[in-house]
Structure 1
């Protein structure tokens, strides 16, 4: 009797996420997904659901991975301003080296905010990033490393909007130096 191979849902979600990340939601077929996940379509429907449900799971998986990476990378790196500067440099590096751009930004432009399930996941990730930056900024302000007269909320919003703009710029121009120069400019203007 043949032995059943256990279905590794986490691995399957990872594989599907990679396909969606590369091709986008609309360009990804069910065949692309089942091939990558190494399952048949009935198994996909029975375990996870349809393409939309799988995409929501993949966006959740992506944002969870990003949040874990941020929490691990910046757990104990020293002063808040140094962590903030490293975060900005890392953002510029990721934007210019990641082959498929940011999955959340791609999804946002593709769905145009029309899907509340996907938008909720992306908004939660954006809120996490905003709060992470705001906490660093407030701590740096308390230490006198950043001007305390500016709103930490506004600075965090500004940095988030910069990152999105850098993604767009890099997609259009593929100019790594341009992004790195803007990152340097942002860092120089943070300090008092």
Structure 2
């Protein structure tokens, strides 16, 4: 008869995610995971798979949270252009209050060139973000809030690519005023 799990799966997944987030994938060992999750190695393998499988589950969980966050932010706008701006401003708010850099950005730079599974998840997230912004910009053109001469697809790429730049600027320069100026610059490009 199989044993019942004596732990909350989602709780342990979050603990693992936080550890990967703090140390990075490469530096996190199975011993680190055993210690952080406070369950034995065989329970980790039985419940989550190997270290790579567990990381993919953690990254996917994070991506789902991010996509929900973007949708919630978009819901704050009274128009499509305001929805896009709300997402951008909420990302910047997260940058300023979060003590950790975006897990997707960390994973992009650490793993996306060398791990096809991670690359696939991150590309899927980026494509979902691109589709969201592109649809908002197309709608903004229909509403008359965005010039018909602006390319919605290019603007979407510009925004999504600049999220990494905003995190980078905060990490390297730690200048809140400059971060707000960069944010205003990005928003002015789409207006």
Q: TM-score, normalised by structure 2?
A: 0.91
Task: Give how far 1:189 is off.
Answer: 3.0
The aligned residue for residue 100 of structure 2 is 100
Contact 2:92 2:183 in 1 (8 A): yes
Q: How far apart, CA to CA, are the structure 2 residues paired with 1:182 and 1:129?
A: 20
Q: Which moved more, 1:160-169 or 1:114-123?
A: 160-169
Q: How far apart, CA to CA, are the structure 2 residues paired with 1:180 and 1:188?
A: 12
Task: Give how far 1:168 is off.
Answer: 1.5
Contact 1:17 1:55 in 2 (8 A): yes
Mapping of residues 114-129 of structure 1, within 5 Å: 114-129=114-129
The aligned residue for residue 62 of structure 1 is 62
Matched, 1:144 2:173: no
Q: How far apart, CA to CA, are the structure 1 residues paired with 2:121 and 2:170?
A: 24
Q: How far apart, CA to CA, are the structure 2 residues paired with 1:109 and 1:10?
A: 26
Task: Give how far 1:112 is off.
Answer: 4.3
Contact 1:130 1:157 in 2 (8 A): yes
The aligned residue for residue 179 of structure 1 is 179
Task: Give how far 1:76 is off.
Answer: 5.3
Contact 2:112 2:119 in 1 (8 A): no
Contact 2:74 2:84 in 1 (8 A): no
Q: How far apart, CA to CA, are the structure 2 residues paired with 1:162 and 1:71?
A: 18
Contact 1:93 1:180 in 2 (8 A): no
SS in 2 for 1:148: coil
Task: Give how far 1:30 is off.
Answer: 1.7
Q: Which moved more, 1:67-76 or 1:97-106?
A: 67-76
Task: Give how far 1:99 is off.
Answer: 1.0
Contact 1:96 1:179 in 2 (8 A): no
Q: How far apart, CA to CA, are the structure 1 residues paired with 2:84 and 2:33?
A: 37
Between 1 and 2, higher relative CO (CA 8 Å, sep ≥ 6) is seen in 1
Q: How far apart, CA to CA, are the structure 2 residues paired with 1:25 and 1:134?
A: 32
Gaps in structure 2 of 5+ consecutive residues: none
**Given the superposition, is the C-alpha separation of residues 190 and 5 from structure 1 closer, same or farther in structure 2, using an over 3 Å criterion?**
closer
Task: Give how far 1:4 is off.
Answer: 6.2
Q: Cα RMSD over matched residues?
A: 1.7
Q: How far apart, CA to CA, are the structure 2 residues paired with 1:31 and 1:52?
A: 14
SS in 2 for 1:138: helix
How many corresponding residue pairs? Answer: 189
Q: How far apart, CA to CA, are the structure 2 residues paired with 1:72 and 1:25?
A: 29
